[in-house]
Amino acid sequence: MDGGEEDVNLKPGYGLVEKNHFVFLKDLNLVIFQRNGNAGRYTHFQNYLNKPSYEGYTLLPVLTKDSYSRIENGGAIKKLEISVRSPALALDAETAYLKNYIDVFKGSQAGSMKVVLSGAKSGGLTHEAKHAFLSLARYGRAKVARAVMQEDNEVIDLIADRISHPMSVSVLANGRPDPKSMFEELAAAKDACASQLRQYFNP
């Protein structure tokens, strides 16, 4: 490509679409999702399946077992930093199930509450605040989810610590990714992350 630009003539009712590819492994109950910066993020797919209209289906991110367990079993949290997508705070019909978690934040003995929850001088945040924090991160509503542990000031990032793997795919003559290559690479990514997946599903 030489960097030049030209108009694209589309037929009436036609549009431009960027795809995300994914593989669902039924035996593992695992979705391997292609992250495409020009299309939907995994959070869009996650939020779509987590709607009340799809009750019975819950899509949760697979975290590195170490980071997840450090928060669950690491004692009190000194400080939380969480950025929640605006629909969750609006509490519309699709996100009303988050109301309990937001109510917990309001009564969590936090010293301050903006995007950051800081423990009062008497100690760390409550167990309920920790549970709400983990739940919001799991359900794909958080763009930022960091915790500072009370005991050793360790910073744990639940967004950065999600299991991911880079891949390269072949491109067809029309400039689109080759679907066969894409699905092969998604399967290969699962194999490359096998040890991390075993830690998460079979601790």
Q: What pLDDT was estimated at residue 93?
A: 44
* 43 or 20: which leads in pLDDT: 20
pTM to 2 decimal places: 0.62
Where does the pLDDT of residue 176 fall: very low under 50, low under 70, confident under 90, or very high at 90 and above?
A: confident
Query: Is residue 146 predicted with pLDDT exceeding 80?
Result: yes
Segment 78-113, tens digit of pLDDT: 988 887 655 445 444 445 545 666 666 666 776 644
Segment 151-162, tens digit of pLDDT: 888 888 888 888
Q: How many CA atoms lie within 13 A of 68 on its CB side?
A: 18
Q: What is the mean pLDDT of residues 104-126?
A: 69
